[in-house]
Amino acid sequence: MSLISSQKGGFRTPCTSVFSIASAALMLVSHSLFAPTAMAQAIQELVITGNPLSKSQANSAVSSLSGLSLLEQGQGTLGETLNQLPGVSSTYFGPNASRPIIRGLDGDRIRILNNSGASMDASSLSYDHAVPMDVLTTERIEVLRGPSALQYGGSAIGGVVNVIDNRIPRQRMQGIAGKAQSQWASGHRERSNGAMLEVGQGAWVFHADAFDRRTGDVSVPQNLPCSKPGSPELASRICNSASDAQGGAVGASLFFDRGYVGMSVNSYQSNYGTVAEDEVTIGMKSNRASIEGELRPSSKLVKSLNFQASQTDYKHTEFDAGEAGTLFANKGHDVRVQLRHKPLKTVVGTWEGVWGWQSEQGKFAADGAEAFAPFSNTHTKALFLIEEYSAGQTRFNIGFRRENVTVESLGNPDPNVDRFELGARKFSPKSFATSASWQVRPQWRLSANASHVQRAPKDYELFANGPHIATAAWERGDSTLGLEKANSFDVSADWQQGPHQFKLTAFQSKFSNFIGLLGTSEFEEDLPLQVYQGVRANFSGLEASSQWRLLQSSSTLDLALKADAVRANNLTTGEPLPRISPVRMGASLVHATGPWTARLGFDWHASQDRVPTGSLATASYTLWHGFVSYQQKLSGTTLNWFGKLNNMSNQWAYSATSILTSTAPGKSPLPGRSLKLGVMATF
């Protein structure tokens, strides 16, 4: 297989003043203001925000990264951060743009949220568009499937990824708390810093955070060519893969006897190379303002009333050799109100439920040489409900969502661009879901989820008509497309006894109308023509994870195992669907003694030769990794020193789920060996 690559020098922009101020404040607080008289945050029971009816994960397929696990797995992109979870892979458009893939489903079938609110960007439009979030300012990331995902719409047909950052404080506190993190990595010469500070005084809690992340070109095991001016013509680096990102936020909440109200404003900006082309970079900026609150009235029926709203102004410009090219912009708002009623006890069990209303409106614009989609407006209104029934050791959930979606194409304001169809389409998707779990024995729990989900086509699926370099094709939509429809089912068995645990899940999703971008034998302006079409499709697979305690004395030694497999077919053509993860298996030994934690393991990826015509197969590979951390306590401050070695054997490999593997062969292999060192301070 012939696979090439590219290279790029690092971006350097001035560090944001908000980061400097926050860093200075953290140093001052940690050295002088933090005292035993200041009250630390109370320890809160972990609530899965995506499952509002339960403080456990019993009824939903939920994965969560936080604390030390987020510190260990955190990467520069959301997709690569979650890539180690069973059932989750990554679109990997190089090291700077990557979205999660859940059980083989990607794009607008995966709903990315920020604090349970819509993240309005352009990341689902194209693989080279990054998600404007960074783990340096993230508290927790949840991956959610099941009935609770219906809160978030048909775009959650594959699952929900909720990035939680506490920029609007939701818990009352007194005193000062915060954290700061600094890290360095060898493989791409990363220099990253992040800081967060929260202050509680009376009924108020204030929040501030900032981060700065800079990377150079990514190191790989073999030499690759590069035509970018100022870069070596041949080097063991991915050409044009450097990045520079900064951001920050301020927020505050006012607490009262029966609830709170809060707001925040945040900004994210980055410049990064797209790696598919040696001289194309993207300059991105996203500003977001949010407000949310909760009221717990004195009522016999209503337990709580929650509301949240956000306004986003997102834009990015694609530069070719420094010259501004296509501008993508997305402005919009999201409003959600949900009411949770108190438990209703019946003769046979108890019902709890959440009823809600949501409105979302987005205005999208693409202007320039690569404007393959028209200016458009999309407006969604929805009603949803989720009810949970519990009786003894049995829980049963049902969910329903009804939407009204209007998608309008406005064409292009340039009179010379007349290739877009004008008009509007209206859709009324209806989705249902149910789940059940049984604690059949103290150590065993069985669960099942079933759903029928409908998704309205996106603006580009209906009206696209233009050149798209990321897919190396001319993309054309189909304004006659109907609703995407899927029937999904999964069953799980969980076993836990002390430190030993095991989970096995089998799943299947059948689409009667799967909207995919499929190739044709035609060409448009010397580019292969690809058309959005509805086909029948089937996704099925397995996920497994376990942990076994091998040694327990003054220290512990655990063996962690995981595996997943997805098989996806286009039933209309009889071919496999593209960009499906191969069979993956991983194993790690985890040793803990006192303040030390260490992990050594590997992830094996099978070869992927089940690819459709026009896609390239990928070879199998094994990536070894190691992680060590040491926790040090110093007068009210906890320091977590950590080190991680990725791809220890410097394995040469390509991702089967990356479109670059087929559209730009050789441009972006997986990163080579890299050592990361860092420290996180919390107080």
At 88, the amino acid letter reads V
Domains and CATH numbers, the chain: 17-682 (2.40.170.20)
Q: SS3 sequence, 226-292?
A: CCCCCCCCEEEECECCCEEEEEEEEEEEEEECCEEEEEEEEEEEEEEECCCCCCEEEEEEEEEEEEE
pLDDT tens digits for range 7-16: 333 343 333 3
At residue 209, the 3 state secondary structure works out as strand
Buried b or exposed e, range 429-451, using 16+ CB within 10 angstroms: bebbbbbbbbbeeeeebebebbb
Beta-strand relationship, 500-524 and 484-497 = antiparallel
CA distance 213 to 197: 19
Contact present, 360 and 328 (Cβ < 8 Å): no
Helix (H) or strand (E) holding 464: none
- List, for the chain, all residue ranges whose pLDDT scores fall below the cut of 50: 1-48, 55-59
Report the length, in residues, of the chain. 683
CB atoms within 10 A of CB 663: 21
Helices (H) and strands (E) in the chain, counts: 5, 35
- The pLDDT value given to residue 24: 36
Beta-strand relationship, 350-367 and 302-320 = unpaired
Helix (H) or strand (E) holding 238: none
- The pLDDT value given to residue 144: 85
CA distance 593 to 582: 36
Burial class of 45 by CB neighbour count within 10 A (0 to 12, 13 to 18, 19+): exposed
Contact present, 622 and 583 (Cβ < 8 Å): no
Q: Write the DSSP assignment of 94-163 as a string of letters.
A: SSS---EEETTB-GGGEEEEETTEE--SSTTT-TTPPPS--GGG-SEEEEE-SGGGGGG-GGGSSEEEEE
- The pLDDT value given to residue 14: 36
Burial class of 680 by CB neighbour count within 10 A (0 to 12, 13 to 18, 19+): buried
Half-sphere exposure of 19 (CA within 13 A, CB side): 20
Comparing CA positions, the residue from 340, 338, 396, 361 lying closest to residue 151 is 338
CA distance 64 to 85: 9
Measure Cα distances from 174 to 15, 214, 486, 509, 679 in Å: 31, 35, 48, 48, 26
At residue 31, the 3 state secondary structure works out as helix
CB atoms within 10 A of CB 43: 6
Burial class of 668 by CB neighbour count within 10 A (0 to 12, 13 to 18, 19+): buried
- The pLDDT value given to residue 116: 86
- The pLDDT value given to residue 49: 57
Give me the residues paired with residue 564 across strands: 543, 584
At 182, the amino acid letter reads S
- The pLDDT value given to residue 252: 98
Contact present, 653 and 669 (Cβ < 8 Å): yes
Beta-strand relationship, 350-367 and 323-345 = antiparallel
At 536, the amino acid letter reads R
Comparing CA positions, the residue from 375, 340, 33 lying closest to residue 177 is 33
Helix (H) or strand (E) holding 562: strand 555-570
- The pLDDT value given to residue 481: 97
CA distance 290 to 587: 41
Per DSSP, 429 falls in state -
Residue 594 dihedral angles phi and psi, to the nearest 5°:
55, -125
> Residues with Cβ < 8 Å from 118, sequence gap 6 or more?
310, 312, 332, 334, 360
- The pLDDT value given to residue 44: 34
- The pLDDT value given to residue 158: 86
Record the pTM: 0.89
At 187, the amino acid letter reads G
pLDDT tens digits for range 344-387: 988 878 999 999 999 999 999 999 888 999 999 999 999 999 99
